[in-house]
A and B are shown apart, each in its own frame.
Chain A
Amino acid sequence: MQNRARILLYESFDRELNDSEHKELEQNLVVNDELRREQQDLQKLREKIKNAKTPSFNPFFVEQTMDKLFSSVTQSRAFNWFDSLFSSFWRVGVAAAAACLILVVLNLKNVSINQNTQQVSTNNESLEEMFEQVSLQMVEDEL
Chain B
Amino acid sequence: MTDNELVIAAKNGDKKAFRDIVHKFQGRIASTVIGMLGKTAEAEDVGQETFIRFYKSMENFRGEANIGTYLTRIAINLSLNEIKKRKRIFSLFSNYQEEETLNSVNSLSKDEGEEDKKMVQQAILQLKPDYRSVVVLRLIDGYSSQETADILKIPLGTVLSRLARAQKKLKNVLIKQMGVEYAE
Which A residues lie at the B interface, using CB under 8 A? 7, 10-11, 13-15, 41-42, 44-46, 48-58, 61-62, 64-66, 68-70, 72-73
The residue that B174 contacts in the complex, of A11, A45, A58, with Cβ under 8 A, is A45
Smallest distance from the beta carbon of B77 to chain A beta carbons, Å?
18
- Chain B facing A: main interface SS: helix
Beyond the given A48-B174, A68-B48, please list 13 additional residue pairs across the A-B interface where CB-CB is below 8 A: A10-B163, A14-B145, A44-B182, A50-B139, A50-B140, A52-B140, A57-B34, A65-B48, A69-B51, A69-B52, A69-B55, A72-B52, A73-B55
Stretch of B21-29, B59-67, B94-102 on the interface side: B21-29
Q: Is the CB of B44 within 8 A of A55?
A: no
Judge whether B156 is part of the interface by a CB distance below 8 angstroms. Answer: yes
Q: Is the CB of B35 within 8 A of A54?
A: yes
Judge whether B11 is part of the interface by a CB distance below 8 angstroms. Answer: no
Residues A15 and B30 in contact in the complex (CB < 8 Å), given A10-B167, A55-B108, A62-B23: no
Q: Is the CB of A53 within 8 A of B160?
A: no
Closest to B156 in A: A15
Q: Is the CB of B116 within 8 A of A52?
A: yes
**Count of chain B residues near A, Cβ 8 A:** 44
Q: Is the CB of B48 within 8 A of A53?
A: no
Given the complex of chains A and B, what is the CA–CA distance between A51 and B115 in angstroms? 12
Smallest distance from the beta carbon of B1 to chain A beta carbons, Å?
16
The 19 sampled A-B contact pairs (Cβ below 8 Å) are: A14-B138, A14-B163, A45-B167, A45-B171, A48-B120, A49-B139, A50-B139, A52-B121, A53-B117, A54-B30, A55-B111, A56-B26, A57-B44, A61-B30, A62-B19, A62-B26, A64-B48, A69-B18, A72-B52
Q: Is the CB of B47 within 8 A of A61?
A: yes
The residue that A7 contacts in the complex, of B15, B19, B116, B164, with Cβ under 8 A, is B164
Residues A54 and B48 in contact in the complex (CB < 8 Å), given A45-B171, A62-B26: no
Given the complex of chains A and B, what is the CA–CA distance between A70 and B19 in angstroms? 11
Residues of A within 8 A of B23 (CB): 62
Q: Which of B40-78 contact A (CB under 8 A)?
A: 43-44, 47-48, 51-52, 55
Interface centre among A42, A57, A72 (most CB of B within 10 A): A57
Closest to A16 in B: B145
Closest to B118 in A: A52
Given the complex of chains A and B, what is the CA–CA distance between A41 and B184 in angstroms? 10
Residues of A within 8 A of B142 (CB): 50
Residues of A within 8 A of B35 (CB): 54
Q: Is the CB of A52 within 8 A of B117?
A: yes
Q: Is the CB of A56 within 8 A of B27?
A: yes
Closest to B27 in A: A56
Judge whether B7 is part of the interface by a CB distance below 8 angstroms. Answer: no
Judge whether B159 is part of the interface by a CB distance below 8 angstroms. Answer: yes
Residues of A within 8 A of B163 (CB): 10, 13-14
Given the complex of chains A and B, what is the CA–CA distance between A14 and B138 in angstroms? 8
Interface centre among B108, B111, B120 (most CB of A within 10 A): B120
